[in-house]
Structure 1
Amino acid sequence: MKKKLRFVLLAMLPILVFLAACGQGEEENTTTGGNDEQEEQQDVEEEGSELGPKEVEIPEGTKPIVTMEMENGGQVVMELYPEIAPISVNNFLSLIDEQFYDGLTFHRVIPGFMIQGGDPNGNGTGGPGYSIEGEFESNGIDNDLQHEEGILSMARSGDPNSAGSQFFIMVENAPHLDGDYAAFGKVIEGMDVVHEIVSVETGQNDLPIAGNEQIISSMTFEMITE
């Protein structure tokens, strides 16, 4: 009887060894997968920490001039004020240099107030994937630009440091915005085009209706000697 039992155990030994080896192999694979996932998460976190506008050099004695071409042929020229709002100006120029605004729309147009654009989602919810510091008085930064007709300013949510890519152009004076939004430029040519944009028919949420989309064909900039 003992011989038979010993024979059975010896016969089962290779099977037990094989199963144990398989179990160890599966555990190693799971551990390896976990390490890969951890490395991928680390990569995502590192990439996210580097998001933000690149530095755009503005030579001393020059002023950035932005030209916005509309798909319908209209043109708007704006001068920027880096001496007043350097963060907002650099961010705007960085996005222009990346052709971020090309093909985007003015998704919110309100007669008697302003036109707003620069959202890749086209509905007021999008941005470049980062935010910048709000350069205005209520956020602790001096900015004496007033929100009058033609002024270019950064749109934001309730968070004072939530501006990203969305901007607006005033079509009339709005002093209640002064000190709470980062004005950083002004239209110097093409206010007639801005008024044409704000006059189109809109639907819900002040969005131009289908067929009236106000599309930015391109934005470019150059440094002009003051």
Structure 2
Amino acid sequence: MLVLSLLLTFFVACDRDITAPTKSKEDTSPVVDPSLCYTVSLPQATDITKFVQFNIEGGATFVVELYPQYAPQTVDNFQKLVYAGFYDGLTFHRVVEGFMIQGGDPKGNGTGSSPNKIYGEFSANGFEQNTLSHERGVISMARSNNPDSASCQFFIVHEDSHDALDGKYAAFGRVVAGMETVDTIAKLDVTAQPISGERSKPVRTPVITSIYFVNYVAPVA
């Protein structure tokens, strides 16, 4: 069961979905419109780098910088999955505006995983090196109650979630370009998840057409 708790009752789940609080109002949000997103594609790198570009169906993109200095095993596992094309064609199956967007499940319903489980690189699991805080744009691994159960599912923080997540989940990178795309996905219309009933299943599911390594240079301010 992959979970991500927020205020003791809010979860990101993989083996099964967990019921979360009902939102106070109905979602009336747009589909993934590339005109509202980051759409400048970077050339695909020939080697494994610490930058990956997410390409979303319809043309939207965003770029994540990976931080092995905080979570080396987590980054290594993610890079191997990207290199193998594991994520190509998968989705963001769970969207909670103001909290996170979750993806990378091969089953697309919150119950899938990859063959390898990885050590949980966070302080509650005795790993003190990872001090990366779960701020807006940070990418982290979903997991079950077993601290060493993360495999492939990840989430991207939509709004700062320090208290609920820091020290409990393996943050391993950050969106450095295209946060507009994450914002647009987070605002999608949602319906009930088939397992938990939580209103977090996108009506039109965003598809990750590919993730690949890029040579990214941050623009000069």
Normalising by the residue count of structure 1, what TM-score does the alignment of the two structures yield? Answer: 0.70
Number of corresponding residues: 164
Question: What letter is aligned with 2:134?
Answer: H
| Structure 2 equivalent of residue 208 of structure 1 | 202
| Structure 1 equivalent of residue 44 of structure 2 | none
| Structure 1 equivalent of residue 21 of structure 2 | none
Describe the superposition over 1:179-201 as per-residue Cα deviations: whole angstroms up to 9, x where unpaired.
Answer: 00000000000110001001111
Q: What secondary structure does 2:202 align onto?
A: coil
| Structure 2 equivalent of residue 126 of structure 1 | 112
CA offset at residue 221 of structure 1? 1.0
The answer to whether residue 139 in structure 2 is matched with residue 152 in structure 1 is: yes
Structure 2: gaps (5+ residues): 1-46, 194-199
CA offset at residue 84 of structure 1? 1.1
2: CA distance between counterparts of 1:169 and 1:163? Answer: 15
Structure 1's consecutive aligned runs of 4 or more residues displaced over 4 angstroms after TM superposition are: 223-226
Q: What secondary structure does 1:67 align onto?
A: strand
CA offset at residue 64 of structure 1? 0.4
> Identical aligned pairs, as a percentage?
49
| Structure 1 equivalent of residue 72 of structure 2 | 86
Q: 1:178 is matched with which residue: 143, 162, 166?
A: 166
Q: 2:155 is matched with which residue: 135, 148, 168?
A: 168
Question: What letter is aligned with 1:208?
Answer: P
2: CA distance between counterparts of 1:89 and 1:129? Answer: 16
Describe the superposition over 1:164-218 as per-residue Cα deviations: whole angstroms up to 9, x where unpaired.
Answer: 0000000100012000000000000011000100111111131112xx1100010
Question: What letter is aligned with 1:84?
Answer: Y
Q: 1:138 to 1:145 in 2, by over 3 A?
A: same
2: CA distance between counterparts of 1:216 and 1:148? Answer: 23
2: CA distance between counterparts of 1:72 and 1:180? Answer: 34
Question: What letter is aligned with 1:83?
Answer: Q
Question: What letter is aligned with 1:141?
Answer: F
2: CA distance between counterparts of 1:139 and 1:121? Answer: 28
2: CA distance between counterparts of 1:162 and 1:110? Answer: 22
1: CA distance between counterparts of 2:78 and 2:107? Answer: 18
Normalising by the residue count of structure 2, what TM-score does the alignment of the two structures yield? Answer: 0.71
Rg (Cα) greater in structure: 1
Describe the superposition over 1:107-127 as per-residue Cα deviations: whole angstroms up to 9, x where unpaired.
Answer: 000011000000000011101
| Structure 1 equivalent of residue 4 of structure 2 | none
The answer to whether residue 63 in structure 2 is matched with residue 77 in structure 1 is: yes
CA offset at residue 222 of structure 1? 3.7
1: CA distance between counterparts of 2:146 and 2:75? Answer: 19
CA offset at residue 225 of structure 1? 8.8
CA offset at residue 67 of structure 1? 0.5
Question: What letter is aligned with 1:215?
Answer: V
2: CA distance between counterparts of 1:70 and 1:93? Answer: 18
1: CA distance between counterparts of 2:114 and 2:215? Answer: 24
2: CA distance between counterparts of 1:172 and 1:225? Answer: 25
Using CA pairs under 8 Å that are at least 6 residues apart, name the structure with larger relative contact order, 1 or 2: 2
Describe the superposition over 1:57-85 as per-residue Cα deviations: whole angstroms up to 9, x where unpaired.
Answer: 97xxxx60010100121101010101110
